[in-house]
Amino acid sequence: MIAAIVNGFQKVPHTAFYCLLVEDTAPKERTYVFTLLQLISVVGGLFAPIGGLLVYHFSLVPGVRIMFVLACIMMTIQFIGRHYATRETDIGYRKMKEAKSMSIKEGMSDYLSVLKVMLRSPLLLIIFAVYILFNFQTTVKTTYVSIFMVEYLQLGSGLISVFPAFSSIIMLMFMRWIMPRIAESQVNRIMVWGFIISVLSNVILVVAPKGDLILLSVSTIVAAIGTMMTYPYLETAVANAIDDENRAKIFALLQVLILIVISPSGVIGGWAYGIDPRIPFLLVAGAFAISIPLMMVYTKKQHQLDSSAMKNIHF
């Protein structure tokens, strides 16, 4: 419990790092930033079988403890390296100067005014809803997929570590040969198809018979493709939807909304898993399914907004 509470504080640097990534980056280049982040994550996934080997050799608890120690070392190196390798953004410097002369009351009032701006922007609310649903399904799936594979599909605990590496290979292939062909104008449509594919991947996972490695592999491939068709573009869409001047505050509020939604997801997932181990993945599929019409509405409204802006420029 204490470890979970301490780990929760990572949301603070996460918001700062997010702003650091996008504030000095041109909107058209932000897709590449988030794709690079996904690439780093994917490459890390290639080392997942090491976890399986540790569990196989030392048993579950000692193996996990070793992985936590390794994670601590790696993350400490990351923190130090990031501290010395990055610099504050221009907007960041300006915001720090503004914050120095601002009282706590004024700061809270500023957050309230930003919240009002958020609530008055249908476009922002729609893309935030999609983003929150994406985080919800990520939390549920990452929490229960390994348990599901071991307990329901009856796979060995060492074998399940192969699937993240397999998924990473598929993602790397998608990055190499497919993503460069996707035009900026097609991004929203690609996300819609990504959500559809993600629904399919979870349905395949649910209907897979016990011990069926073929269907499980198909589900992994489809899920990997769906992730690459959604994650980097969704992150970019959220980043581009947020005003640079209020980015830190809006993203912080978004993180609060995400926590409000995903905090009960563990309880909901556990309750659902107790009824039937397949239900959490139906919830995941449902989150993706809801995202499809939301993304369609977002695309339509964004197109209308862009058309209106072009007309104003023309006249």
> From residue 2, how far is each of 7, 13, 100, 233 by CA, in Å?
8, 19, 33, 35
- Residue 236 is encoded by which pair of tokens? 């970019």
Unique residue bearing structure tokens 């598929």: 170
Q: How many CA atoms lie within 13 A of 190 on its CB side?
A: 20
pLDDT of the residue at 221: 95
- Residue 14 is encoded by which pair of tokens? 């996460």
Q: pLDDT tens digits for the chain (315 residues)?
A: 788 788 878 877 888 888 888 888 888 888 888 988 888 888 888 888 888 888 888 888 899 899 999 999 999 999 899 889 888 888 888 888 877 877 788 888 888 999 998 999 999 999 999 999 999 999 999 999 999 999 999 988 778 888 998 999 999 999 999 999 998 889 999 999 999 999 999 999 999 999 999 999 999 999 999 999 999 999 999 999 998 888 888 998 998 889 888 888 888 999 999 999 999 999 999 999 999 999 999 999 998 887 776 666 655
Alpha-helical runs (H) found in the chain: 2-8, 11-22, 30-45, 48-58, 60-85, 90-100, 104-119, 122-147, 162-177, 187-207, 213-241, 247-262, 265-275, 279-314
Measured distance CA(52)–CA(48) in Å, rounded: 7
**From the CB of residue 121, how many other CB atoms can be counted at a distance below 10 Å?**
16
Question: What fold is seen in the domain 13-98+122-314?
Answer: Growth Hormone; Chain: A; (1.20.1250)
State the pTM of this model. 0.90
Inter-residue contact 211 to 6 (CB < 8 Å): no
**Amino acid letter for position 112:** L
pLDDT of the residue at 313: 61
**Where are the domains positioned within the chain?**
13-98+122-314
Could you give phi then psi for residue 237, rounded to 5 degrees?
Answer: -60, -40
- Residue 18 is encoded by which pair of tokens? 């997010």
Q: Rounded to a whole number, what is the distance in angstroms from the first to the last CA of the chain?
A: 60
